A and B are shown apart, each in its own frame.
Chain A
Amino acid sequence: QVQLVESGGGLVKPGGSLRLSCAVSGFTFSDYFMSWIRQAPGKGLEWVSHISSAASTIYYADSVKGRFTISRDNAKNSLYLQMNSLRAEDTAVYFCARVYYAFDVWGQGTMVTVSS
């Protein structure tokens, strides 16, 4: 079945870095655009970044531009989010999602906490 599994979250100090991963199975990963979306505790959903199937087109939310980098490895069926210069306001559950018009399949999320 179609499955997305995020990993790599954890507790990090302000200014620190983390790399999130999203392992995909059950569909042809290289055929699909992918996104990262986050949700701060008790808050709504915020789109973070998008990458096209061949990684030729990438977009970022202004709130993360210059600090986060999205990438993918189609041979490994994996999506990544490198997060640098982390701030307290980056604390959230981070979801990876498949893009088919909208976000049609979501992972279960990985928690990132930025705190000293």
Chain B
Amino acid sequence: GEDVEQSLFLSVREGDSSVINCTYTDSSSTYLYWYKQEPGAGLQLLTYIFSNMDMKQDQRLTVLLNKKDKHLSLRIADTQTGDSAIYFCAESNGDKLIFGTGTRLQVFP
């Protein structure tokens, strides 16, 4: 069945770049997403990439997709304390949306 995996924690210094990784198993995924969840809040869609793209850039965010290895990454440039949150990777194929366990990003000064 479908599975999405992420590492649980990442700690970076303010101003550095953060790279959050995700692997998935469903090769027929059409869209892949990154969500941000701040404490006590719902999920906020950060960005998404269509499966026929390799890269998407949106201001400080860069998404890289390696379809052959089924690997997705999110790079946050110039990471700020406000970026501290849990980041979820998700994939969809048609109607079902499958999420990873989330990566908790901690930014320290």
A and B bind: no
Q: Which residues of B contact A (CB under 8 A)?
A: none
Q: Which residues of A contact B (CB under 8 A)?
A: none
